[in-house]
Structure 1
Amino acid sequence: MKRNLGIVLLLLMGAVLSCESKPDQANPKQEMKKKAVVYQVFTRLFGNTNTTNKPWGTLEENGVGKFADFSEKALSEIRKLGVTHIWYTGVPHHALVNDYTAYGISNDDPDVVKGRAGSPYAVKDYYNVNPDLAVDPVKRLEEFKALVDRTHAAGMKVIIDVVPNHVARSYQGLTNPEGTMDFGAHDDVSKEYDVNNNFYYIPGSTFKVPEWRDGYLPLGGEESVLVDGKFVENPAKWTGNGSRLAQPNFNDWYETVKVNYGLRPDGSKDFEELPSGMEKQGYIEHFQFWENKTVPNSWDKFKDIALYWLDFGVDGFRYDMAEMVPVEFWSYLNSNIKTKNPDAFLLAEVYNPDLYRNYIHKGKMDYLYDKVELYDSIKHVMKGYGWTDHIPVVQKRMADIEHHMLHFLENHDEQRIASPEFAGNAQMGKPAMVVSATLSTSPTMIYFGQEVGEPGAENAGFGKPSRTSIFDYVGVPHHQRWMNHGHFDGGQLTEDEKNLRDFYQRLLNFTISSNALMGDYQEIHFYNKDHTEGYDHKILSFVRWKDGEKLIVISNFDDVKTYTLDLKIPEDVIAKWHLENPTYLLKEELYGKEKATLTIQEGRGNVRLQLPPLESYVFSVQ
């Protein structure tokens, strides 16, 4: 009875909060008063000052960053960059090749670990953190809690990973809360599937490590008693990416096992589906829908994990490969999270555009990666074979969900802008970053080192250069120059690197202070292609406005050509802005050096400007 009364009071309190402080569900632009900026940092790489970078090097040889490296000074400088949220990547304890048996932690088998430092997406213990990141592994949870508190004190919120689709083959919870059982502890392994089994099994078959390819050998071929081509798993489990082979392929996610969410092997569902109309309901209604329903055991396990970290002080989660988990589970999990913390920041990796609206509206996600649509379009322009014409088309297609599509140019999965395999020059990212950060009301994300032109050139071991390694111990050279031996003052940066970071700082701080960037958008690109001499597919222009702030944004993606233009502002924009004077002064918001004038004749605006290579202007109408 007390439990039911508590639930009623909780729901009533949620309803009051929803009415008083939360926006109308149908008006998503009001969810944040200003734009958010997420700084993704690979936690074990951030503070590492070691420059050895030996391929397949050990922690002792190549070094590793610690929670403690995020000092008050470091966090202050990140905040000054314009950051509102830090996504600490790789915090949950994942499988790795280092000996922590003195601390009661079992060794992981290199035959099922990618690299030496291990994939952050092969989580071994969800109720603890990576011992590599602690000065004292015994106190690793306390050290992370101190980092959470320091981050909050610096004025930023904390995001960590949750990877519901799969866990490490060697999963072993050492510090589970009382009554919490490990994944698979009560599974009936005689069955391929049972609704309350946490894993899928291959009865009668034992697991075999994959056949190594492309010259790859565990630990780079180093002899080790742990490397014997075997890993004991009987019966074998399905692999994380869904492979049902007892011996997965080298390109499968062989270091992980897939979690069962009540999806039968034939794809049918062993749980109740959301009824029609739930996509229009808020998290409170979703919470109420699931309240008295029986759900698969894995759903409750991940709910408990998420609530544990919320209690710990974490402010949100980034969900790995969310589309591989049924949307009903997300409705269940996220409505529980939002009931506990309505302001939790929930970001998901979904790559299928056909699923976007389901995972936002039914799954109650706050934000999804805008990878397949915007990122890919901008990358093609940066590489020289794409046209800016495609960007307004993408934005129009995303119009109903644009606020929920987080924008980025780098993350741990993508190539560094400065890598030869991408643009080969960090300066090429400047117009792209202006467009990415100002095009919509959605959050912006940057990856640590992006702001100083990190090229990801290191051969760390597992995987190839162009992406900073997430599998091995490595130093990040450009970022290390900014760290300057722990001073975090950019003391070793080149002038070009300093100027690049200054650009990012100016841009991001403008975005988090602008009202217009949380308001209306209209492309003027195609109008100018039709009416402006010399305007072509290397340029992009659009306007933004809200609460009296009116912005004209124009970017030049060409790395050679300077454009001299009479940029046109269409009649309907002039009318919407209620501009009645013949001239208006334009202020350039990023550097304040460029002066321009908006002249209006017969209801149409005109801006005479010169646009150098890779330059952008963000003009505000005075």
Structure 2
Amino acid sequence: METNKKMVIYQTLPRLFGNKQSSHVKYGNIEENGVGKLSAYTEHVLTEIKALGISHIWYTGIIEHATKSDFTAYGIPKDHNAVVKGTAGSPYAIKDYYDVDPALADDISCRMEEFEALIKRTHEAGLKAIIDFVPNHVARQYHSDVRAPFIEDLGQTDDTTKAFDANNNFYYLPGQALELHFGAKQEDFEYSEFPAKVTGNDCFSPNPSRNDWYETVKLNYGIDYLNGRTTHFDPVPNTWEKMLQILLFWASKGVDAFRCDMAEMVPVAFWQWVIPKVKEQHDVLFIAEVYNPAEYHNYLINGHFDYLYDKVGLYDTLRLVITGEAPASQITGCWQALDGIQSRMLNFLENHDEQRIASDFFAGDARKGFPGMMVSTLMNTNPVMVYNGQELGERGMDEEGFSGLDGRTTIFDYWSMESVRHWFNDGQPDDGQLTKEQKELRDKYKALLNIALTEPVISQGIFHDLTYANLKNPYFNPHRQYAFLRKQENEVILVVANFDKAEQTVRVQIPENAFRVCGIKDNKAARLTDLFTGQTSVSTLTDAWPYQVVLPPYSGRILKFTY
């Protein structure tokens, strides 16, 4: 895979993205609320996504998962309502690792062929494809009905009389039945599971609560949780072998990367074993959802992951800066805490788990998030991600059903996104359905992401924070502005982000140390290009006096000096 290009990911939920139905019923079924299809990602739509400044597209919810929809006519067993969250079901409650979600297919009997065609279209559009790998848990009624005959199903040979066995795929609670006490209907109480399996979020109780991942069961990677977390990794556990087969299966379909759900709930030893084996046969990347900073180095170095989520550091900090609860100068601590691994962190301001920037629960206005997106995108060589609709200011303020009114776009219900519907219209983004504000926001995202994608100094250059030199600068507000340099060869980029609602004229002090570390010649004339506007002139940088910049509200400037 190319390593000299910035990785810019567009996360999209096909179930929602391609759904053009605007009439919605709370807790509505697939017939009432409609569903997006893989075919919605036409050649033209994919071209438009790429033009946004995208290199990779993450198709979320591809693999077949538990649902309340009935596909028994196609040989797919129906799931019990008691163990499905929402009407559509969670895409992280995998029901068959070897199958595609039937709801996403135009012809359900050809669903795998439709997925393979999507991967082909994605590659022809010049994009790489990412899908989820969900290794920690599966749906309670997991059963693969399309796996190859030589592949043994999960749990098929488990000894259910044992709470733990190194070669069991699941953990059991012998002699105890699963009890779900929060069902709204009588049928929800009728689900039978004996012996009870351990719930996906390490809940070793036969009575998981509504707040547990009650619709899933935990997979056994050889750790005996009830006996001091002792490990049984030699010989290689049966679950490891089965997960390797699954990864190789999807990699053989042309998938370019796996986003590994809750990777830190699976032992590093497994990743250390499996990732090299997959990479021996396929050129794929592995991205881990890990939230414990103390484990970052372990998963990167020992676990062989290419990238990790930067959620508890940069995301959490930027959110506080955007909402005015923390000074912009606090961003400095984020990269310092990463101790040299910032280039391996995936930055984002939205994804399927987080609240929308424009929601009332976050900023209430999508424009307020743009300076944070500038920082996220430009401050290092690492990947950055946009969630479908973020570039249009999608608000996430619908009360869809199971998801409720929480500022998130549901992953449990059949629904659609208003802003994406208005953009979509057969892939014509300029058909007048978008508001002026939505078009302006998308244009700003498009400019920013393409700068990141095409400027070598952003994808490869060094980073130098300027906060330390401006903390006491009377002409710069470190609470609402953040500035840094990027440098490569004969190019320097000065980035100044403005989190304030008003236009600001600031003077950025660039200290002598920055010139020395970055190898910039003081007071040497350079060709100046404003990368947002394209305007050019001649200018200089010097430590003798601050550099004056006029900053638009909720935005910033990206100034390239070419020597």
Q: Same fold (TM over 0.5)?
A: yes
User: Quick check: 1:512 aligned with 2:483?
Assistant: no
The AA in structure 2 aligned to 1:209 is L
Asked whether the 8 Å contact 2:329–2:467 carries over to 1, the reply is yes
Asked whether the 8 Å contact 2:476–2:507 carries over to 1, the reply is no
User: Quick check: 1:61 aligned with 2:32?
Assistant: yes
Partner residue in 2 for 1:317: 258
Partner residue in 1 for 2:468: 526
Residues 546/243 of structure 1: CA separation in 2 closer, same or farther (3 Å cut): same
Match of 1:234 among 183, 187, 194: 194
Distance 2:365 2:432 in 1: 22
Partner residue in 1 for 2:232: 271
Partner residue in 1 for 2:133: 162
Asked whether the 8 Å contact 2:48–2:427 carries over to 1, the reply is no
Distance 1:296 1:200 in 2: 13
User: Quick check: 1:420 aligned with 2:391?
Assistant: no
Structure 1 residues 584-603: aligned runs within 5 Å: 584-593=526-535, 597-600=539-542, 603=543
Asked whether the 8 Å contact 2:203–2:212 carries over to 1, the reply is yes
Structure 1 portions without partners, runs of 5+: 1-21, 23-30, 273-292
Report deviation, 1:610. 1.9
Partner residue in 2 for 1:369: 309
Comparing 419-428 with 201-210, greater Cα deviation is found at: 201-210
Report deviation, 1:374. 0.3
Distance 2:292 2:431 in 1: 39
Partner residue in 2 for 1:294: 235
Distance 1:399 1:502 in 2: 35
Instruction: Map Cα deviations across residues 518-562 of structure 1 (whole Å, 9 max, x no partner).
Output: 221110112012345343311000001112221110011011x33
Please give the secondary structure, in 2, of the residue aligned with 1:355. helix
The AA in structure 2 aligned to 1:403 is S
Instruction: Map Cα deviations across residues 122-151 of structure 1 (whole Å, 9 max, x no partner).
Output: 000000100000011110000110001000
Distance 2:545 2:462 in 1: 18
Partner residue in 1 for 2:79: 108
Structure 1 residues 27-42: aligned runs within 5 Å: 32-42=3-13
Comparing 110-119 with 243-252, greater Cα deviation is found at: 243-252
Report deviation, 1:605. 5.4
Structure 2 portions without partners, runs of 5+: none
Partner residue in 2 for 1:478: 419
Asked whether the 8 Å contact 2:470–2:476 carries over to 1, the reply is no
Partner residue in 2 for 1:393: 333
Instruction: Map Cα deviations across residues 575-617 of structure 1 (whole Å, 9 max, x no partner).
Output: 33332545444321122258684353xx545312222321211
The AA in structure 1 aligned to 2:137 is H
Asked whether the 8 Å contact 1:65–1:133 carries over to 2, the reply is yes
Match of 2:56 among 85, 94, 107: 85
The AA in structure 1 aligned to 2:114 is E
Partner residue in 1 for 2:101: 130
User: Quick check: 1:70 aligned with 2:41?
Assistant: yes
CA RMSD of aligned residues (A): 1.7
Residues 462/443 of structure 1: CA separation in 2 closer, same or farther (3 Å cut): same
Distance 1:543 1:400 in 2: 17
The AA in structure 2 aligned to 1:435 is V
Structure 1 residues 337-416: aligned runs within 5 Å: 337-341=278-282, 343-416=283-356
Instruction: Map Cα deviations across residues 9-36 of structure 1 (whole Å, 9 max, x no partner).
Output: xxxxxxxxxxxxx9xxxxxxxx710211
Distance 2:135 2:29 in 1: 29
Distance 1:490 1:163 in 2: 38
Asked whether the 8 Å contact 1:165–1:325 carries over to 2, the reply is yes
The AA in structure 2 aligned to 1:461 is G
Partner residue in 2 for 1:261: 221
Please give the secondary structure, in 2, of the residue aligned with 1:544. strand
Asked whether the 8 Å contact 1:407–1:437 carries over to 2, the reply is yes
Report deviation, 1:350. 0.4
The AA in structure 2 aligned to 1:183 is L
Distance 1:80 1:562 in 2: 29
Residues 267/131 of structure 1: CA separation in 2 closer, same or farther (3 Å cut): farther
Please give the secondary structure, in 2, of the residue aligned with 1:468. coil
Instruction: Map Cα deviations across residues 467-517 of structure 1 (whole Å, 9 max, x no partner).
Output: 000000001001111002554545410111011111111111110112212
Asked whether the 8 Å contact 2:130–2:257 carries over to 1, the reply is yes
Aligned pair count? 558
Partner residue in 2 for 1:566: 507
Asked whether the 8 Å contact 1:571–1:605 carries over to 2, the reply is no
Residues 34/490 of structure 1: CA separation in 2 closer, same or farther (3 Å cut): farther
Asked whether the 8 Å contact 1:490–1:498 carries over to 2, the reply is no
Please report the TM-score for the alignment, with normalisation by the length of structure 1.
0.87
Please report the TM-score for the alignment, with normalisation by the length of structure 2.
0.96
Partner residue in 1 for 2:178: 207
Distance 2:54 2:113 in 1: 25
Partner residue in 1 for 2:478: 536
Asked whether the 8 Å contact 1:597–1:608 carries over to 2, the reply is no
Distance 2:335 2:470 in 1: 17
Structure 1 residues 93-104: aligned runs within 5 Å: 93-104=64-75
Asked whether the 8 Å contact 1:484–1:491 carries over to 2, the reply is no
Distance 2:139 2:258 in 1: 19
Distance 2:513 2:468 in 1: 14
Asked whether the 8 Å contact 1:210–1:247 carries over to 2, the reply is yes
Comparing 171-180 with 430-439, greater Cα deviation is found at: 171-180
Structure 1 residues 169-180: aligned runs within 5 Å: 169-180=140-151
Partner residue in 2 for 1:435: 375
Partner residue in 1 for 2:208: 248
Report deviation, 1:370. 0.2
Residues 178/491 of structure 1: CA separation in 2 closer, same or farther (3 Å cut): farther
Report deviation, 1:267. 4.1
Distance 1:124 1:596 in 2: 61
Match of 2:494 among 542, 549, 552: 552
Distance 1:89 1:117 in 2: 14
Please give the secondary structure, in 2, of the residue aligned with 1:389. helix
Asked whether the 8 Å contact 1:57–1:473 carries over to 2, the reply is yes
Asked whether the 8 Å contact 1:532–1:565 carries over to 2, the reply is no
The AA in structure 2 aligned to 1:150 is R
Residues 595/62 of structure 1: CA separation in 2 closer, same or farther (3 Å cut): farther
The AA in structure 1 aligned to 2:209 is N
Distance 2:382 2:181 in 1: 41
Residues 491/206 of structure 1: CA separation in 2 closer, same or farther (3 Å cut): same
Match of 2:111 among 124, 140, 148: 140
Asked whether the 8 Å contact 1:515–1:549 carries over to 2, the reply is no
Distance 1:371 1:228 in 2: 35
Residues 490/159 of structure 1: CA separation in 2 closer, same or farther (3 Å cut): farther
The AA in structure 2 aligned to 1:250 is R
Report deviation, 1:46. 0.9
Report deviation, 1:570. 1.2
The AA in structure 1 aligned to 2:481 is I
How much identity, in percent, do the aligned residues show? 44
Asked whether the 8 Å contact 2:476–2:508 carries over to 1, the reply is no
